[in-house]
Amino acid sequence: MTILDNYAIPRNLTALSPMLVQGEGIYLIDEEGRRYIDGSGGSSLVCNIGHGVKEIARVMAEQAGQLAYNPTHCSISRPFVELGTKLAARAPGNLTYVFFLNGGSEAVETSIKFARQYQLQKGQPSKFMVVSRWQSYHGNTMGALSVSGHTQRRRRHAPTLNQNCHIPPAYCYRCYFDLTYPECGLKCAKILETAIRQEGPENVSAFIAEPVVGASLGAVSAPVGYFEIIRRICDRYEVLFVADEVMTGFGRTGKNFAIEHWDAVPDIIATGKGMGSGYAPLGAVIMSPDILDLMVDRGADFVGGHTYSGHLLSCRVGTAVLDYMQHYRLVERAAERGNYLLEGLQTLGDFKMVGDVRGKGLMAGIEFVEDKATKRPFAVELNVAKQVMDAAMEKGLIVFPGNGSVDGQMGDHILIGPPLIIEEKQIEEMVLILREAIEEVEQNLDLP
């Protein structure tokens, strides 16, 4: 069979993929009965609670039998209200207002729209620009892609992307300034002020960043103190701080939201993935009352909703997922199991091609290099991250490959993020398979 035998267009146009038919906990099963450890939580850390959870399935069936969708332009639903209440209780600081969407890209784009409309109502109409970081990924809609800093994803659409500004990422393994933390003084954070002043504070609406960068850097976490500086700079120039927690939210890093690892509360959080945990498409924007209260006081409706915003069935699933996570203490388990995972992955550092192992909670990454001493990356055409993914999948483990970590083109890494229910023995099995996969790829590359 080739992909041309299917009328439905797959995400990957150039490769054949197994037909998956069942999920059990951390495992996925194809139509031939082969089992795979879901080491990427679906596609890029979605399925936090694991596959095949019967409690969630029962909730979905019960709600669909009562009412699956309401006309959101003129009504609300109880699941919508209940999920909003639960999110407000879990969000950091005073972030208490929630706007629901279908996924992460929409959440990021809607965050940008809220920031812009807030600045308009505040009497600052020239504030339109968003500052973000290179080697970031914020989503695949045009607005979200515009603020993304991943060159390969941006390149094909560059002529149609919005005007925005990018600064270097907080990436200690490959410091843009060739400095060492903490003697660097966190120049990577302070450069935000330079960027705002260069663009003109009167033109900058918001700054957006992933607390732990996912797909485009492979679980790179900002150092201690970084976001505290970002928060102060944003306050100084009346710039809203948006935390992209699409991947990191809902316990993935061992906290409800990853930004809680720093003493800095954003104005807006864009989130998704783990909230629906793969059982239903679901995203959200969580924001400070300062933003929405001003808009309400000025009599300004938000312009930017979607047909499925606040989808009743998805919201009901989201509530069930959060209840399940709380009952089984999955946030705490992510912190505990995350330490065990990172310890196991660090044993892979004895391979020539493993340059860096990093992560927070059950979100980890491995960066591959051709030369450890110089950190020289592999040639792009070798597609080393995909080689590792293919080798691991052949052995029964799914991971998420990434590239462009060095400059948007060169650089290979894999992202690892199994469901938060994973046990220590299963982590050991994952690490063993990765060891075999990396050894196989390294031998094929014939490194000196």
What is the model's pLDDT at position 363?
A: 98
Predicted pLDDT at 12: 76
Rounded Cα distance between 115 and 107, Å, is 12
Predicted local distance difference test score (pLDDT) of residue 446: 85
**Do 35 and 98 have their domain in common?**
no
The Cα–Cα gap between 70 and 268 comes to 27
| Element (DSSP H or E) covering residue 321 | helix 312-327
CATH of the domain at 352: 3.90.1150.10
Are 81 and 172 contained in the same domain? yes
CB atoms < 10 A from the CB of 191, how many? 17
325 close to 318: Cβ distance less than 8 angstroms: no
Q: Show the tokens assigned to 82.
A: 């209940």
Q: Which two tokens stand for residue 164?
A: 């925005």
* Same domain, yes or no: 121 and 234: yes
Distances (CA, A) of 147 to 72, 208, 303, 316, 331: 29, 8, 20, 31, 29
DSSP state of 40: T
Residue 94 near residue 269, CB atoms below 8 Å: no
Residues 290 and 359 in one domain: no
Task: Indicate left, alpha or beta for 439 from its phi (over 0: left) and psi (-120 to 50: alpha).
Answer: alpha
What is the C-alpha to C-alpha distance for residues 132 and 135, in angstroms, rounded to an integer?
10
Cβ atoms < 10 Å from Cβ of 318: 29
Q: Are residues 94 and 64 in the same domain?
A: yes
Is residue 265 located within the same domain as residue 292?
yes
Q: Which residue, 327, 357, 375, sits at the end of a domain? A: 327
- The crossing angle, in degrees rounded to 10, of helices 312-327 and 54-66 is 150
Same domain, 160 and 284: yes
Q: Are 95 and 287 in contact (CB under 8 A)?
A: yes
Task: Tell me the sheet residues that pair with 166.
Answer: 132
Tokens representing 329?
A: 């203490």
Those residues with Cβ within 8 angstroms of residue 296's Cβ, 6 or more apart along the chain or in another chain: none
* Tokens matching residue 249: 């939210």
Q: What is the CATH number of the domain that holds 196?
A: 3.40.640.10
- Regarding whether 305 and 176 lie in a shared domain, the answer is yes
User: Domain span at residue 177?
Assistant: 58-327
Angle, in degrees to the nearest 10, between helices 226-236 and 187-199:
20
For residue 377, give the nearest of 328, 413, 419, 325 by alpha carbon: 413
Residue 414 region, left (φ>0) first, then alpha (ψ -120 to 50), else beta? beta
For the stretch 240-260, pLDDT in tens is 999 999 999 999 999 999 999
What's phi and psi for 397, nearest 5 deg? -135, 130
The β-bridge partners of 398 are: 38
Spell out the alpha helix ranges (H) of 380-423: 384-394
Domain-terminating residue out of 288, 303, 327: 327
Last residue of a domain, one of 301, 327, 353: 327
Same domain, 33 and 102: no
Residues of the chain where predicted confidence (pLDDT) is lower than 70: 1-5, 14
Tell me: the pLDDT tens digits for 67-103?
Answer: 999 999 899 999 999 999 999 999 999 999 999 999 9
| Backbone phi and psi for residue 327, each to the nearest 5 degrees, phi listed first | -60, -40
**End-to-end Cα, the chain, rounded Å:** 39
CB atoms within 10 A of CB 25: 18
Q: How many domains does the chain have?
A: 2
- pLDDT for the residue 1: 41
Measured in degrees and rounded to the nearest 5, phi and psi for residue 152 equal -60, -40
**321 shares its domain with 184:** yes
Residues 430 and 446: their CA atoms lie apart, in Å, by 24
Answer yes or no: do 142 and 189 share one domain. yes
Residues 101 and 67 reside in one and the same domain: yes
- Decide: 129 and 163 in contact? Cβ < 8 Å: yes
